[in-house]
């Protein structure tokens, strides 16, 4: 599902083909931008080379960052071009850079033509922490590899820049297929494979007009395309097997070519029989669930190939999982159109197109590139692709048409043309017309177009659709495995003729591995400890927070917001709730000096005025700066919530707490305790700490002063012009229980955090840590937790973000060399655990660890399921240690990640990913309302900054509104 969630940045585009020895150098790049050296801020800055640095204004937000390394040595077996900035392998030379392979960090270096770099190696022995357990995985091992010679061919159609649809059509045409014969696999772009050894270059001129049996109109040129096919290499499975058996140290281009071929081999047969969306396949005619407004959901199967570790050595394994897809409903186009626009029916759509063109255009824009079928010629079907909509009626729009009786061109309307030529009288002639991509000016009435089935809906869902999709997608383990089994029957490997032809055999039995269930810590409070064990649950009854608010609660107010229908909350209800709220907070150890905060009742829709009155009332009543503002809201209005947060944080620098009136009416102690965890954290308190066998001291698991930094970049929904958000959180106590958080825009869909953001966001947080936690000293080690990056971007994280952190630290003291351990945590994967002994739903117990079966054979990664799933099938977090200067043993890393998941500040359950990452994700989403363009702000917006995006257009991304720091909001848990 798309939405305001973190999404992967665009994959790096392959360098353009180059054939001359004096070609322009191609420096390392990320997010489609060259990595240029740019100095950072002065003073405590992030200068990369120790040179004087410039002010932040010298480089726009989101602009390219410097290159930190230039690979100079060729990957084994890769051809190179003299004068290029780095060695280029065959894939880069032909523009066929693989994007979706499941590879490790070192292997991606080969893909991108970098010299091999050191990676953190997998420990020689598995962990012995906790208890042993057996874990079933949704992976299936390859047991037999092709033993015959497979030849790889380069396919050039036209000039090499033709659209993929045309390339596929030319390849599939009868002339090409008859020339090649059966047994070829084509990647849809530039590569093909076969067991046939065709050692001569094939050159063909394909007349697509003849292939499609289309007449060429007088004066028109036939649609002819040049096709060149030549053999380039023989796929070397021996190199891949040598690498997996450690007889070859480096993953070379021969190994890459073998992996790439096997990946396409797996997809060849399913792609011909099912609807393919990347690695997922959906069966035509399968059962569907309607999500509303013209969108439906359907289950399919996902499969991907990866190398995996086993106790016996490396192997190839296939990850098979459920694919949940959203599609446009196959219907008449006008029916889908009125659903997209949010109308009742077709007549309502016509009315909206007349009276509210902007609304109609916004909805119909979603249908661009949707494929439709027309049947106006009787039994003859024609397929078209929508380019745009023309807001003219069929009677108004006129064009030149050939009159069959007179043989002359006459001016006619769309309405008259279909009535006269096809005897079709349009029922809704006032609908907008549809312009197609094929032909110069091909236009159809909307009601004559039928939407093809199984076309993916790639846009953001509304709230109702999202809710329905979650219900459809979330299934318990038993149902999920049944769906996986259904997917296996769809793939039917044993009867796949393509796999048989090439000699690939896969074990249809799931992989079962030895895992561990780590010992759950004791959750220690100020009074009253919790021992959740394997349940992953506890409550706050009889417990006091580990640390209450440092300053007694004195200056605060409660604002009660009336409902939209004029309903006024009862004052007695509010008074009762406030009394209970204060009583329970004191019971949890909270310090309350003012137990009767001033109360306001809102009037009007000006949310900014609500916040101003609440701020003034709280300050005047206590004669002090307000500490926190409470708002009781009538419903879950995201707009009102965002405006409250924006106004309070960016105008007054004060934290807020919002609650719904329905919960206030019930006044349940459990609800109040849950709110108080957030309330206490915002006021500077700490809920609890985790205590394990080795983490009972004042520093917890840390034996030396340690800082944890969490990082996340979230991207807007597809089609949105909003900027990406970079969030950095920093631990603010010895236990790494409290975290400050800073957020800033990070350019347009840029995944790597910019140098400016590393400097500007991290510098004040590190300074605060030194002053308050380190007693004037820097930490002795730093653990950098990064979320949301793919394996292909690990090197960029090290060469850019970690490099910038080191440079920032050295700008304070050039001799400082604090060791850093960098760990990437990701939940964007398809691995699931099916344990022999799980919880009552069949999910793994909290603390389940898997180090083999699906992890990389040589690099240090693992899967940890730290949480207890409430609904559906638990998704473990995939952690990959990409740098370990701190020399932390894996058992220490496992314990830290698991125990700290119990210290999450606003839950009485362990969370699925380390809190530093979780907080960064929350902060990035919360700061969306700080964008000057968000909503309809009355405040003036900061100056705009223009950046170059990966698209052809230029996108303008504003910096966020700053938060005044008089109340130290920037180092608080304002986002919680």
DSSP designation for 620: H
pLDDT for 89 equals 67
pLDDT exceeding 70 applies to what percent of the chain? 88
Residue predicted with more confidence, 285 or 620: 620
Is residue 413 scored above 80 in pLDDT?
yes
Is residue 62 scored above 60 in pLDDT?
no
pLDDT exceeding 90 applies to what percent of the chain? 76
| Per-position DSSP letters for 778-822, written without gaps between them | --SEEEEEEES--GGGHHHIIIIIIHHHHHHHHHH-TT----EEE
pLDDT, tens digit, 9 for 90 and up, residues 30-50: 333 333 333 333 334 444 333
Is residue 708 scored above 90 in pLDDT?
yes
pLDDT, tens digit, 9 for 90 and up, residues 631-646: 999 998 899 999 999 9
pLDDT for 720 equals 80
Q: Which has the closest alpha carbon to 334: 290, 414, 384, 389?
A: 389
**Average pLDDT, rounded, for the chain:** 87
| Per-position DSSP letters for 668-715, written without gaps between them | -HHHHHHHHHHHHHHTT-B--EEE-TT--BTTBT-SS-EEEEEEEEE-
pLDDT, tens digit, 9 for 90 and up, residues 366-389: 999 999 999 988 777 899 999 999
Is residue 915 scored above 50 in pLDDT?
yes
Cβ(593)–Cβ(650) below 8 Å:
no
Between 310-314, 492-496, 714-718, the lowest mean confidence (pLDDT) is in: 714-718
Position of tokens 């318990």? 476
pLDDT for 87 equals 58
Q: Looking at the DSSP assignment, which residues form a beta bridge with residue 320?
A: 303
Is residue 439 scored above 90 in pLDDT?
no
pLDDT for 953 equals 56
pLDDT, tens digit, 9 for 90 and up, residues 477-490: 999 999 999 999 99
Q: Do the bridges between strand 781-787 and strand 706-714 make them parallel or antiparallel, or are there none, so unpaired?
A: parallel
Mean pLDDT computed over 548-572:
87
All residues at 6 or more sequence positions from 161 whose CB lies less than 8 Å from its CB, including other chains: none
Is residue 696 scored above 80 in pLDDT?
yes
Distance in angstroms (rounded) separating the CA atoms of residues 969 and 161: 52
Distance in angstroms (rounded) separating the CA atoms of residues 731 and 566: 45
pLDDT for 567 equals 61
pLDDT for 93 equals 66
Q: Do the bridges between strand 820-826 and strand 781-787 make them parallel or antiparallel, or are there none, so unpaired?
A: parallel
Most confident of the ranges 101-105, 561-565, 967-971: 967-971
Confidence of residue 21 (pLDDT cuts 50, 70, 90): very low
φ and ψ at residue 340, rounded to 5 degrees: -65, -40
Confidence of residue 569 (pLDDT cuts 50, 70, 90): confident
pLDDT for 564 equals 65
Please name the helix (run of DSSP H) or strand (run of DSSP E) that holds residue 203, with its range, or none.
Answer: strand 202-207
pLDDT for 91 equals 72
- Measure Cα distances from 929 to 7, 39, 668, 729 in Å: 18, 31, 30, 19
Is residue 247 scored above 80 in pLDDT?
yes
pLDDT, tens digit, 9 for 90 and up, residues 71-94: 333 333 333 333 334 556 667 666
pLDDT, tens digit, 9 for 90 and up, residues 440-468: 889 999 999 999 999 999 998 988 999 99
pLDDT for 942 equals 35
Mean pLDDT computed over 51-57:
35
Mean pLDDT computed over 874-888:
97
Is residue 950 scored above 80 in pLDDT?
no
pLDDT for 932 equals 92
Cβ(599)–Cβ(558) below 8 Å:
yes
Mean pLDDT computed over 137-141:
98
């Amino acid at each position: 599902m798309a939405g305001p969630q973190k999404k992967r940045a665009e994959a790096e585009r392959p360098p353009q083909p180059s054939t001359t020895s004096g070609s322009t150098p191609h420096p390392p790049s990320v997010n489609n931008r060259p990595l240029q050296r740019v100095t950072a801020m002065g003073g405590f800055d992030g200068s990369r080379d120790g040179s004087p640095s410039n002010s932040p204004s010298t480089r726009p937000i989101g602009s390219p960052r410097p290159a930190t390394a230039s690979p100079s040595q060729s990957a084994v077996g890769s051809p190179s071009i003299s004068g290029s900035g780095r060695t280029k392998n065959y894939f880069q030379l032909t523009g066929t850079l693989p994007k979706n392979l499941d590879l490790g960090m070192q292997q991606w270096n080969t893909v991108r033509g970098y010299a091999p770099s050191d990676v953190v190696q997998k420990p020689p022995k598995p962990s012995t922490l906790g208890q042993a357990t057996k874990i079933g995985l949704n992976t299936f091992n390859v047991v037999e590899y092709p033993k015959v010679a497979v030849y790889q061919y380069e396919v050039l159609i036209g000039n090499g820049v033709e659209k993929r649809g045309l390339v596929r059509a030319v390849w599939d045409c009868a002339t090409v297929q008859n020339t090649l014969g059966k047994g070829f696999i084509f990647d849809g772009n530039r590569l093909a494979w076969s067991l046939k050894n065709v050692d001569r270059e094939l050159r063909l001129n394909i007349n697509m007009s003849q292939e499609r049996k289309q007449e060429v109109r007088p004066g028109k040129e036939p649609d002819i395309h040049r096709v060149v096919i030549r053999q380039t290499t023989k796929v070397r499975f021996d190199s891949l097997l040598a690498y997996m058996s450690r007889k070859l140290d480096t993953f070379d281009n021969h190994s890459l070519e073998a992996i790439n071929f096997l990946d396409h081999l797996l997809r060849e047969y399913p792609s011909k029989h099912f609807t393919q969306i990347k690695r997922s396949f959906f069966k035509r005619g399968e059962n569907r669930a309607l999500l509303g407004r013209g969108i439906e959901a359907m289950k399919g199967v996902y499969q991907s190939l990866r190398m995996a570790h086993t106790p016996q050595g490396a192997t190839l394994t296939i990850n098979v999982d459920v694919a949940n897809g959203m599609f446009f409903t196959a219907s008449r186009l006008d029916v889908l159109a009125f659903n997209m626009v949010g109308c009742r029916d077709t007549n309502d759509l016509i009315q909206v197109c007349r009276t509210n063109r902007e609304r109609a255009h916004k909805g119909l824009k979603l249908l661009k590139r949707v494929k439709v079928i027309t049947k106006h010629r009787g039994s003859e079907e024609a397929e078209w692709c929508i380019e745009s909509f023309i807001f003219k009626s069929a009677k108004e729009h006129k064009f030149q048409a050939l009159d069959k009786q007179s043989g002359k061109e006459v001016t006619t309307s769309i309405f008259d043309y279909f009535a006269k030529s096809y005897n079709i009288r349009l029922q809704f002639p006032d609908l907008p017309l549809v312009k197609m991509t094929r032909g110069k000016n091909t236009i159809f009435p909307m009601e004559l177009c039928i939407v093809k089935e199984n076309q993916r809906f790639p846009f953001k869902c509304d709230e109702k659709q999202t809710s329905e999709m979650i219900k459809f997608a979330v299934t318990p383990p038993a149902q999920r495995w049944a769906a996986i089994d259904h997917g296996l029957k769809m793939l039917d490997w044993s009867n796949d003729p393509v796999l048989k032809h090439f000699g690939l055999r896969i074990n249809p039995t799931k992989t079962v591995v030895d895992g561990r269930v780590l010992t759950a810590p004791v959750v220690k409070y100020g009074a009253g400890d919790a021992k959740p064990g394997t349940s992953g649950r506890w409550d706050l009854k009889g417990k006091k927070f580990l640390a209450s608010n440092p300053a007694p609660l004195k200056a605060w107010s409660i604002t009660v917001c009336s409902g939209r229908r004029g309903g006024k909350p009862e004052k007695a209800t509010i008074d009762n709730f406030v009394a209970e709220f204060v009583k329970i907070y004191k019971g949890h150890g909270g310090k309350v000096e003012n137990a009767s905060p001033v109360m306001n009742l809102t009037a009007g829709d000006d949310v900014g005025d609500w916040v101003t009155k609440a701020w003034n009332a709280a300050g005047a009543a206590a004669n002090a700066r307000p500490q926190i503002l409470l708002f009781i809201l009538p419903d879950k209005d995201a707009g009102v919530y965002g405006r409250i947060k924006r106004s309070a944080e960016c105008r007054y620098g004060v934290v807020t707490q919002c609650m719904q009136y329905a919960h206030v009416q019930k006044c349940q102690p459990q609800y109040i305790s849950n709110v108080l965890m957030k309330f206490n954290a915002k006021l500077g308190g700490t809920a609890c700490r985790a205590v394990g066998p080795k983490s009972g001291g004042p520093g917890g698991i840390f034996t030396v002063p340690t800082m944890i930094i969490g990082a996340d970049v979230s991207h807007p929904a597809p089609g949105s012009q909003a900027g990406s958000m970079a969030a950095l959180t920093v631990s603010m106590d010895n236990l790494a229980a409290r975290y400050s958080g800073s957020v800033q825009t990070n350019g347009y869909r840029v995944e790597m955090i910019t140098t400016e953001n590393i400097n500007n966001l991290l510098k004040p947080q590190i300074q605060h840590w030194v002053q308050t936690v380190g007693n004037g000293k820097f930490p002795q080690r730093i653990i950098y937790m990064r979320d949301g990056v793919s394996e292909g971007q690990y090197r960029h994280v090290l060469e850019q973000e970690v490099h910038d952190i080191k440079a920032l630290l050295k700008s304070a003291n050039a001799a400082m060399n604090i060791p850093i351990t960098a760990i990437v945590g990701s939940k964007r994967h398809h691995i699931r655990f099916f344990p022999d002994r799980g919880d009552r739903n069949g999910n793994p117990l909290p603390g389940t660890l898997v180090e083999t079966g699906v992890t990389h054979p040589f690099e240090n990664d693992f899967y940890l399921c730290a949480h207890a799933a409430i609904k559906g099938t638990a998704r473990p977090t995939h952690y990959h240690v990409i740098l370990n200067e701190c020399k932390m043993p894996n058992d220490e890393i496992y314990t830290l990640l698991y125990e700290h998941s119990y210290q999450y500040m606003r839950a009485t359950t362990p969370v699925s990913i380390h809190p530093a990452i979780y907080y960064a994700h929350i902060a990035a989403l919360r700061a969306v309302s700080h964008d000057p363009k968000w909503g309809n702000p009355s405040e003036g917006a900061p100056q705009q900054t223009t950046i170059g995006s990966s698209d052809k257009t230029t996108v303008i991304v504003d910096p966020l509104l700053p938060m005044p720091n008089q109340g130290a909001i920037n180092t608080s848990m304002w986002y919680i």
